[in-house]
């Protein structure tokens, strides 16, 4: 066996081993004790948890250009604004709770958030496509990102309204989603603030359908501008603007449906490290929400949230718990499970990373029935040969 053949065979075996070992989950959490003094967000690759292997040399050059803001210092919408919105979107996961309704599977407590975490994965992939100059793929994924967040808000509201996960279970069983008109109308409350959001959603989906849902004209062709092969273009470097504009109305949906995002609290002071799963966000994440939009927009959503029954009841419930002393807070730390108490701030960060990882992993529960025995790439490829496929296609 030649050295080249041996390398190829080793690589193939590594891929097969990865496929048979299951999936992994990565979680991270940013925190500062004085969020009001944050002047700039971290680097994009830190926000998304990317290592250097995930970035090609071309993507690294584009990213360095954007991080230095060489090309958009005069823009009204900056790359820094885009990163604040990304961080605000990632902070949403902390408010996702673990409701259980009578008569439904307890697995739905976390599976109900499948759509958000799937959209998070899509968001990372579309940004990587964008950095590498794969603009057609990036645009198509942007539509998927929007759709999954619509589904998340829709099933959240339907579960709350019916006190049941029946519609959610029906989706996982039959893989059929409601029409886009139904999703847009039912994913937001019947309130005045929802009307402009619904219109923006409709226009956004219409626009994405024109360039991602079916054949498009030459004016929208990236090949028309780049030539035979995909590659980075000056216009393409600015494609993050489309992602940023989409993040706007995606964030608006969550701000209306989860108004506690506008009311950060210090849950550790009330519950130590044994607080409720979800429901609240901390002051750091609250500052990310504030930085993700202009002051006037923030005031609009804050005013709406102040009249929310959810905010009133949760705030009253929180106020009913007295603040714990420092020693009482330390006593809530599980040293046997999490190691020696590292200090309040590191302990809080470790707790949040752990919760994020558990929540995202549990949201994948519906995929656990996939047998490792079926993950045989060589067997799968043989089935796809025409002679074999011709014998079995009627049974497929």
Q: How far apart are CA 340 and CA 338, in angstroms?
A: 7
Mean pLDDT of the chain: 84
Average pLDDT over residues 119-125: 95
Least-confidence region, from 202-216, 241-255, 257-271, 292-306: 202-216
pLDDT over threshold 70, residue 332: yes
* Residue 127: partners with Cβ closer than 8 Å, 6 or more residues away: 44, 48, 138, 240, 243
Please give the pLDDT value at position 292.
95
45, 61, 206, 294, 295 from 72: Cα distances, Å? 19, 16, 28, 18, 22
pLDDT of residue 375: 54
Question: Does the pLDDT value for residue 180 go beyond 60?
Answer: yes
The whole-number pLDDT of residue 368 equals: 47
Q: Between the CA of residue 347 and those of 9, 287, 334, what are the distances in Å?
A: 44, 20, 10
With H, G, I as helix, E, B as strand and everything else as coil, classify residue 203: helix
This prediction has a pTM of 0.86
Each domain of the chain, given as residue ranges in start order, spans 27-395
pLDDT in tens, 22-58: 666 778 888 887 888 888 899 999 999 988 888 888 8
Convert the pLDDT of each residue in 303-327 to its tens digit.
999 999 999 999 999 999 999 999 9
Give the pLDDT mean for 214-238: 63
Q: How confident is the model at residue 113 (pLDDT cuts 50, 70, 90)?
A: very high
């Amino acid at each position: 066996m030649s050295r080249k053949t041996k390398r190829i065979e080793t690589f193939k075996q590594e891929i097969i081993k990865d496929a048979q070992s299951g999936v992994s989950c990565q979680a991270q959490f940013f925190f500062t004790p004085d969020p009001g003094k944050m002047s700039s967000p971290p680097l994009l690759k830190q926000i998304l948890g990317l290592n250097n292997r995930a970035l090609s040399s071309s993507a690294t050059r584009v990213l360095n250009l954007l991080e230095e803001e060489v090309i958009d210092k005069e823009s009204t919408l900056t790359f820094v604004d885009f990163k604040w919105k990304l961080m605000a979107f990632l902070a949403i996961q902390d408010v996702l709770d673990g409701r259980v309704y009578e008569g439904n599977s307890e697995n739905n407590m976390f599976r109900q958030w499948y759509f958000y975490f799937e959209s998070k994965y899509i968001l990372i992939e579309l940004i990587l496509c964008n950095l590498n100059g794969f603009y057609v793929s990036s645009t198509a994924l942007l539509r998927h990102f929007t759709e999954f967040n619509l589904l998340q808000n829709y099933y959240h509201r339907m579960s709350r309204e019916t006190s049941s996960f029946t519609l959610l279970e029906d989706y996982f069983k039959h893989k059929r989603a409601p029409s886009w008109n139904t999703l847009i109308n039912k994913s937001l409350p019947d309130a005045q603030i929802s009307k402009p959001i619904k219109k923006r959603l409709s226009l956004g989906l219409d626009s994405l359908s024109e360039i991602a849902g079916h054949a498009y004209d030459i004016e929208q062709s990236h090949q028309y501008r780049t030539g035979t092969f995909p590659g980075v273009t000056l216009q393409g470097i600015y494609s993050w603007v489309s992602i940023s504009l989409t993040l706007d109305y995606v964030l608006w949906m969550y701000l209306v449906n989860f108004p506690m995002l506008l009311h950060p609290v210090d849950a550790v002071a009330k519950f130590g490290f044994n607080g409720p799963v979800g429901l609240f966000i901390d002051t750091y994440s609250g500052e990310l929400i504030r930085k993700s939009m202009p002051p006037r927009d923030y005031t609009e959503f804050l005013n709406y949230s102040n009249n929310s029954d959810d905010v009133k009841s949760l705030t009253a419930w929180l106020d009913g718990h007295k603040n714990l002393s420092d020693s009482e807070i330390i006593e809530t730390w599980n040293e046997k499970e999490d190691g020696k108490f590292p200090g309040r701030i590191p302990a809080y960060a470790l707790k949040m990373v752990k919760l994020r990882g558990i929540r995202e992993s549990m949201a994948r529960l519906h995929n656990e029935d996939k047998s490792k025995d079926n993950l045989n790439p060589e067997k799968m490829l043989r089935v796809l040969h025409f002679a074999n496929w011709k014998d079995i296609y009627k049974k497929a």
